[in-house]
Amino acid sequence: MLEILGRVFGEGGKNDGFGEVRCEHDQRNPKDESAGDILNDREINCPGPGGIDAACERLVVDFGATFVNQSLLDRIERVTGAPPHPFLRRGLFCAHRSFGAVLDAYEKGDKFYLYTGRGPSASMHVGHLLPFMFTAYLQRAFKVPVIIQMSDDEKFLYKGLSREECAKYMQDNLKDIIACGFDPERTFIFNNFDSMGILYPAACGIQRHLTCNQVRAVFGVGDSDSPAKMAFPAVQMAPALPSTFGNQLFGNKTLRCVVPSGIDQDPYFRVCRDVAKKMHEHKPSVLISKFLPALSGTHTKLSSSTATDSTGLGLADTPKQVRKKMNKAVSGGRESVEEHRRLGADLSTDVPMKYLRCFFPGPDAELESIEKQYQQGLLLSGEVKKLAADAVSSVLANHQKARAAVTDADIASFMEVRQLKV
């Protein structure tokens, strides 16, 4: 059984809403031997068949999200006038909650805003870019505002960072985030320590609809944890409620919210959707992504701590470094060339191919052909590793160039409370 956050709540699936709380664990127990896969916002380890990909898909089913299908892809193409982003077409953003309703409203002229965020860390890796690259694409495609929360408080509270470290990391991370190409007229970035004056009333409004029991069950807050961890989930949820920012950002418009989010963060927004209903607000829609696997295997995602070591892919890595690391990545290729030619690659455990799926710059048909050839043993793992390294290096080269152009003044203007172009 999949050990997950938010076992007891959620929409659809086996557990329906707050009304019927069926608590299986007094509190989250991510080390439960019997549980097998672990996938929550603090820990990911999925040694079961299919690794994190399969675990993500089970979560989508268990918690009543909807898989992205061809019909949705076609609709997005129709509405935006361009093919959807490869992350959507190729299954990275694999599921959603009520994005159809957002498109219905959009087609009637009601825009939405996008909300995503990040807890500042010492260094970012290529996996950290995905939600921001995707959010920037959505902003371009739909011409909508973006709100980005930097949860420096979370890192201060959960990781024991000092405020100075949080501030330093944030400034650094923001260059990487802004380099993803957000529209300065349409994007507001804030950090919780400096913006709690804006968020607090909304967070309190949310908290009136939560209990300590619920937060413990969904987010795994233990008795020995800081009470701030009880309060934090509402801080992350608050920007997903349209009323939180009053008329400070969107004038007198009430926009729906769409949250592009890794599936590990889905519990926040699943709970937020229940609370939004009680607060008579639009439920936030969620676009849910799987993860880039660690180079060391598909059982877990690329983690922050590996960003700078040999097993991760840091954002400042050179093509040579990328190539070297990708060569060491866990492959689905076989022991010998002969065996590989005979059996073909095992795509389910092949890490480089997962990267290639994300970043291959060519058409989908060409990617599919590569996959097929690899699966049939016509392509060797070394060849696929080279393709993956080239694709990643190309993304990183573009990113590094864009990042170098981001100034402190740019950061300051993104962080100014102001009317956004809607």
Report the interface residues with a second copy, using CB under 8 A. Answer: 153, 156-157, 160, 163, 192-198, 200-201, 203-204, 207-208, 210-213, 215-216, 221-231, 233-234
Beta bridge partner(s), residue 95: 67, 288
* Alpha-carbon gap, residue 120 to 167, rounded angstroms: 8
Shortest Cβ 159–a second copy spacing (Å)? 11
Task: Pick between residue 129 and residue 198 the one whose CB is nearest to a second copy.
Answer: 198
Task: Pick between residue 45 and residue 191 the one whose CB is nearest to a second copy.
Answer: 191
Task: Pick between residue 65 and residue 199 the one whose CB is nearest to a second copy.
Answer: 199
Task: Pick between residue 87 and residue 245 the one whose CB is nearest to a second copy.
Answer: 245
Shortest Cβ 156–a second copy spacing (Å)? 6
* Alpha-carbon gap, residue 89 to 102, rounded angstroms: 19
Answer for the pair 123, 304: CB distance below 8 angstroms, yes or no: yes
* CB-based contacts of 329-332 (< 8 A; 24+ apart in sequence): 329/295, 329/296, 329/355, 329/385, 329/388, 330/295, 330/296, 330/297, 330/298, 331/381, 331/384, 331/385, 332/374, 332/381
Shortest Cβ 209–a second copy spacing (Å)? 8
Shortest Cβ 221–a second copy spacing (Å)? 7
Residue 75: is it exposed, middle or buried by C-beta count within 10 angstroms (0-12/13-18/19+)?
middle
Structural element, H or E, at residue 306: none
Shortest Cβ 171–a second copy spacing (Å)? 17
Residue 7 one-letter amino acid: R
| Residue 37 to residues 15, 45, 217, 249, Cα–Cα distance (Å) | 19, 6, 18, 41
Task: Pick between residue 170 and residue 203 the one whose CB is nearest to a second copy.
Answer: 203
Cα angle 162-163-166, degrees, rounded to a multiple of 5: 90
Question: Which of these, 93, 376, 367, lies nearest to 84 by C-alpha position?
Answer: 93
Shortest Cβ 222–a second copy spacing (Å)? 7
Shortest Cβ 135–a second copy spacing (Å)? 26
Task: Pick between residue 112 and residue 188 the one whose CB is nearest to a second copy.
Answer: 188
Beta bridge partner(s), residue 141: none
Task: Pick between residue 208 and residue 324 the one whose CB is nearest to a second copy.
Answer: 208
